[in-house]
Structure 1
């Protein structure tokens, strides 16, 4: 049954063509059976589908709903459809509200699952019949990225995705007929040619709400539909974000004027010189065509060269559909410079094109001394920490905030930085990889489109550059320093767990006109390296003046091959040569060769658990930090989270923030130059207001003179419990700590204090038959000393393309189990995902396999003998942990006359909170801390949740040991020790 629902929309749209009529036909299930403008049916069969992970099928479909179960309610201009969605192990409620509001129809959707569910996406899909639209109908994309095209007459099998991204709107127009504008809210859109799957239609796919969803938590999204007069949509797309901006000049070289914005300023503030230039170029970003530079003479007579850049001013407009940018002035060339010393300066603008060079008259300006601390440097007296130019310490406290959350990225950053800064945070990491702050990517239409007016290789998105200017200003207002991560590994691959592979749209790809036939060519191709240096020049020119920029980071998680190491050395040297303010430089991932490079200033790693298997990261953070301190440079744990596959909100739905808390303090007390930087900023930290975790860290860190105190880790702090207690044993779970690759050893010893000797522990075991057999271990060996006989639980995780788990006890095989893989629901695994590029299944068994182990000392060998790889997420050892070893970690740093300690109850973990378990209080402990001083020490014990001192002690060492007695605590304490004169 269909319900005819015609809406006449008459609006003054500023066109000479008469407005068209929008009509909808909605069936008894709420499906938009037809969306018609005039005589043209633009969309049909628009309905909601819940898609299984990995696009392996549908969990539920609105089209399959029994009409008898649908409740319809009309109130004024709104008709509401409420219905059950049922599928495999799932029930949910779908609420659809259709409202006429003047000249538009608004359709709001709400999906409420009855139980926790993992989805690939919530899909709202409709179609355009090829018989009516192929080769005739235009599609137009409006918003930060604009695009236009004709729905193709024939299928292009290699480019069936016509457009994909997060637009302000998507429109369709047939010649002689009114157009249709579709405005999504909280959804991404994709337009594709379904003839690839033998369906005679073009598909419009709106996606929302992928990942893990909690029971009874609504997933909301909406779209509005509006009929438009002929030509209106095309006019808007033609204007776009860069309407009226010319990137070409063909006049003889001339420097007409150079205007400085002020002639007196304080050190670490910036001067801006705008130059009025005529020249011959068709790419203002190419310094071989036109190079604008400032030549600064300092009071000491030093000459500093400052690159200039081409820019366009914009104005931010916020409306119902989100934010948009409009050109707000004339484009032109600009030079910005930040002086670091007081005294008289001069700047001379010089311009060079292929015909020669011209110079302006010098512009003078006076620099006064400033109380501003300046740029962040490596501390000269304490080179594992940071300092400002004025010598004050800088301890990095923050999180990742890599991209905006939707259609209002500037509002997002304003809120995120306000929350971070108010809590005492001072550091954030940004990605500049084809999001709303990116510079260089393929313009739409492209399969992996970005946000912004991308121009292709060697040309930069001026709207995004303006946004990044504003992000820096927002950070400055909130006291946050920014790490600019310029690119990510996904630019050089296809597929990926998050579908992050984007090589298909990388402008360096030869198929897009770039110089690289393969991703590996990027690191060695001379033209690619030249073009990347050109981008670095632009970044230096535009943002190198800012003390708010903490560091340049080349890559996110690019594996350090020899070619990558050589490339990194070359680019780091380029930055140090051309950045007037010599910002810090780093990358990820690194290697010993990279970290030892004199132009790399700090080392970094990333750390995640898998599927919630790691309850406590303390030992892993300590181990990783100590390993990196060997390079003699500052170290940051720059990404951190409970689970690389799901946000911390999955494991901490109440927003207690205990994982973030423990990570921050463990990093501080291990010798990191900052906190462990949590990844999940938009779905966890901000919505659950977890910023408060950082406030006590800031209060404690502010009392330490990091820049002048060369701390070193205290190798061992002995913890002595209450000697009157009878020894007992309890179960202990030892989680794997390295998800991929070989660790230092494949032999591990489980100690009775609940720790592992010879860690970190490898999670993944590869078959000897896999393509790269040396990439991961094929077996690991555990040494156990069982207080009594029991069942050791081997926690099996994911298996890729089959496997064969073999378990041996003291050399005798006790288990030989083939492990198949396949589609979800077709085997003993809990769930499965398809690795698209290789067409292989990864099946998650999530199973605890019991192995009988007698009392006494034994070797337990775990091996994979077949297939590709499998995961051993953790071992649970029964009645193993001795009560004689308090369940407490003690981490510490020492320098002459100073110490820092963090004492942590191992029962205080995110996992215990998730399981509803409270930690047992720790009392009557004694810490034995080694010292070479015989002087008395003042000990301040800090509450790490309130950021206040709760007890002060005076302690005298005896026989080279400080015996400290911390106050009773439930979770953790910090201590600051000062040697008395």
Structure 2
């Protein structure tokens, strides 16, 4: 019997605004002009909360999960179109034949996201498991696919045509939806995918990304933003990867995966990872020439979890997560970065959800429409050496986060039973006027204090602070 055709996808919320970038602006907005930030995490269609969508075994659990995320201020999930740790979630099998169960899965997932206002950062291939389990993948030529070797993925002409065919199918079916935030057109682009060279990266992005934009314009009359993600350590030895990731003219925003050795991928305390995140964010922003948005789209204790087979204790992991989030955000990243869970099971904890909610409640304190931030980490000095300042700002406003580093307990976490430290930090805000300072409790997600100060101008603005563990601030010229 011939397979029955699958009905066209019908959007349940066709008016959901698309997300856009603005030329020369480092943050995101909806089509109607409202500011929007990617607060979220990596998810997968085989992980506990979403696995029930496959074959519609348990749609209720998936919907309850998405509703919970939205209630906690989460705006975005990063998802891979297929997840090939096993044999049953290939989007095509054989190459070019799109699987009905997977199409139905994505129909249902897009419908749930539209219903609740969740958005998806979508990447078309699970390149991690695709690499490890290449001998099983439908794209392997020995399996009737397009490519002899995994080291030729980006070079093989037939594979590029298959990639384009997949993207064309996906955007034709779901690309009209506002639930699609953006495309990560290749997950962790790597020299190993192209004969151990990065020389082809720019051409690959122009070819694949250009095709996708042309297709979307033809189908929808507009386009979703595009990025290409990079495993952070690759950037250290490949200047052409840096050029592609941060400055390729076809990309709308930049994204990197923060997996620094020892501090982030194998944390011994909750402070060093935050300091590394602030430095990595500053380094990334220094590579961008046109103020396009940037955020870390993967991070987490991957070496500890994957190689050492250890899961962080929940209280430690909650603080580690929250510190990375605020270091990323205060340093000028869009949103708080996107954790890869690296836990058993692959789910974020309740404490991490509260940290996301706290960041979401902070966002309205900033005038995002006019915030042309620069990273200030290298120029901020707190009056006490035990406090590490992170910050970004422009001529009229700034975001700061102050982290204490002298009170790490034996468990690797910051002690809360210590005397607070007080001091001041000088900001490069030199315009005369009245400034409003709001201090923020990053644990509870509430305002601690509102202050106003008059600045005579001509010199840096000095702001007072009191820190037990950490504190966030926003400063605006009235």
TM-score (norm 2): 0.83
Q: Take 1:474 and 1:682, find their aligned partners in 2: how far apart are those partners?
A: 25
Residue 955 of structure 1 and its aligned partner are, at CA, apart by 2.4
Tell me the alpha carbon deviations over residues 749-807 of structure 1, each in whole angstroms, 9 at most, x when there is no partner: xxxxxxxxxxxxxxxxxxxxxxxxxxxxxxxxxxxxxxxxxxxxxxxxxxxxxxxxxxx
1:216-255 correspondence to structure 2 within 5 Å: 246-247=2-3
Determine whether 1:611 maps to 2:301.
no
Q: Which residue of 1 aligns with 2:70?
A: 421
Q: Which residue of 1 aligns with 2:235?
A: none
Q: Take 2:129 and 2:310, find their aligned partners in 1: how far apart are those partners?
A: 28
1:480-499 correspondence to structure 2 within 5 Å: 480-490=118-128, 493=131
| Structure-2 change in CA distance of 1:594 and 1:901 (3 Å) | closer
Residue 401 of structure 1 and its aligned partner are, at CA, apart by 0.9
Residue 594 of structure 1 and its aligned partner are, at CA, apart by 4.1
Among candidates 164, 181, 186, match of residue 533 of structure 1: 164
Among candidates 621, 624, 640, match of residue 299 of structure 2: 640
Q: Which residue of 2 aligns with 1:387?
A: 29
Q: Which residue of 2 aligns with 1:465?
A: 103
Q: Take 2:414 and 2:184, find their aligned partners in 1: how far apart are those partners?
A: 40
Among candidates 886, 893, 904, match of residue 403 of structure 2: 904
Q: Take 1:929 and 1:452, find their aligned partners in 2: how far apart are those partners?
A: 52
Unaligned runs of 5+ in 1: 1-243, 248-329, 341-369, 437-447, 494-500, 722-884
Residue 428 of structure 1 and its aligned partner are, at CA, apart by 1.0
Determine whether 1:571 maps to 2:208.
yes
| Structure-2 change in CA distance of 1:395 and 1:921 (3 Å) | farther
Among candidates 25, 31, 47, match of residue 405 of structure 1: 47
Q: Which residue of 2 aligns with 1:71?
A: none
Alignment length (residue pairs)? 438
Higher RCO, Cα 8 Å, sep 6+: 2
Q: Which residue of 1 aligns with 2:236?
A: none
Q: What secondary structure, in the 3-state scheme, does the structure 1 residue paired with 2:467 have? A: coil
Q: Take 1:402 and 1:606, find their aligned partners in 2: how far apart are those partners?
A: 17
Unaligned runs of 5+ in 2: 54-58, 192-197, 231-240
Residue pair 2:26, 2:334 contacting (<8 A) in 1 also: yes
Q: Which residue of 2 aligns with 1:375?
A: 18
Q: Which residue of 2 aligns with 1:511?
A: 142
Among candidates 703, 708, 715, match of residue 370 of structure 2: 708
Residue pair 1:396, 1:674 contacting (<8 A) in 2 also: yes
Cα RMSD of the aligned pairs, angstroms, is: 2.9
Residue pair 2:202, 2:248 contacting (<8 A) in 1 also: no
Among candidates 658, 670, 692, match of residue 319 of structure 2: 658
| Structure-2 change in CA distance of 1:432 and 1:566 (3 Å) | same
Q: What secondary structure, in the 3-state scheme, does the structure 1 residue paired with 2:390 have? A: strand
Residue pair 1:956, 1:962 contacting (<8 A) in 2 also: no
Q: Take 1:703 and 1:424, find their aligned partners in 2: how far apart are those partners?
A: 15
Q: Take 1:394 and 1:688, find their aligned partners in 2: how far apart are those partners?
A: 23
Residue 720 of structure 1 and its aligned partner are, at CA, apart by 1.1
Q: Take 1:894 and 1:454, find their aligned partners in 2: how far apart are those partners?
A: 46
Determine whether 1:926 maps to 2:424.
yes
Determine whether 1:592 maps to 2:251.
no
1:686-725 correspondence to structure 2 within 5 Å: 686=348, 688=350, 690-714=352-376, 715-721=378-384
Tell me the alpha carbon deviations over residues 455-480 of structure 1, each in whole angstroms, 9 at most, x when there is no partner: 31111111111111211222233332
Determine whether 1:668 maps to 2:305.
no
Q: What secondary structure, in the 3-state scheme, does the structure 2 residue paired with 1:965 have? A: strand
Residue pair 2:188, 2:229 contacting (<8 A) in 1 also: yes
1:325-344 correspondence to structure 2 within 5 Å: 331-332=5-6, 334=8
Residue 584 of structure 1 and its aligned partner are, at CA, apart by 1.1
Among candidates 15, 38, 41, match of residue 396 of structure 1: 38
| Structure-2 change in CA distance of 1:462 and 1:613 (3 Å) | same
Structure richer in strand, relative to its length: 1
Q: Name the larger-Rg structure.
A: 1
Tell me the alpha carbon deviations over residues 211-232 of structure 1, each in whole angstroms, 9 at most, x when there is no partner: xxxxxxxxxxxxxxxxxxxxxx
Determine whether 1:895 maps to 2:394.
yes
| Structure-2 change in CA distance of 1:708 and 1:462 (3 Å) | farther
Q: Which moved more, 1:599-608 or 1:640-649?
A: 640-649
Residue pair 2:389, 2:401 contacting (<8 A) in 1 also: yes
Q: What secondary structure, in the 3-state scheme, does the structure 2 residue paired with 1:542 have? A: helix
Q: Take 1:614 and 1:570, find their aligned partners in 2: how far apart are those partners?
A: 43
Residue pair 1:685, 1:691 contacting (<8 A) in 2 also: no
Residue pair 2:274, 2:324 contacting (<8 A) in 1 also: yes
Tell me the alpha carbon deviations over residues 853-878 of structure 1, each in whole angstroms, 9 at most, x when there is no partner: xxxxxxxxxxxxxxxxxxxxxxxxxx
Tell me the alpha carbon deviations over residues 244-273 of structure 1, each in whole angstroms, 9 at most, x when there is no partner: 6x35xxxxxxxxxxxxxxxxxxxxxxxxxx
Residue pair 1:660, 1:676 contacting (<8 A) in 2 also: no
Residue pair 1:898, 1:979 contacting (<8 A) in 2 also: yes
Q: Which residue of 2 aligns with 1:477?
A: 115
Q: Which residue of 1 aligns with 2:186?
A: 555
Residue pair 2:375, 2:391 contacting (<8 A) in 1 also: yes
Residue 332 of structure 1 and its aligned partner are, at CA, apart by 4.9
Determine whether 1:449 maps to 2:93.
no
Q: What secondary structure, in the 3-state scheme, does the structure 2 residue paired with 1:978 have? A: strand
Q: Which residue of 2 aligns with 1:737?
A: none
Q: Which moved more, 1:590-599 or 1:386-395?
A: 590-599
Residue 649 of structure 1 and its aligned partner are, at CA, apart by 8.2
| Structure-2 change in CA distance of 1:698 and 1:649 (3 Å) | farther
Q: Take 2:13 and 2:249, find their aligned partners in 1: how far apart are those partners?
A: 25
| Structure-2 change in CA distance of 1:908 and 1:692 (3 Å) | farther
Structure richer in helix, relative to its length: 2
Tell me the alpha carbon deviations over residues 491-548 of structure 1, each in whole angstroms, 9 at most, x when there is no partner: 553xxxxxxx011012222211223222233322222211221111101111101101
Tell me the alpha carbon deviations over residues 27-80 of structure 1, each in whole angstroms, 9 at most, x when there is no partner: xxxxxxxxxxxxxxxxxxxxxxxxxxxxxxxxxxxxxxxxxxxxxxxxxxxxxx
Q: What secondary structure, in the 3-state scheme, does the structure 2 residue paired with 1:691 have? A: helix
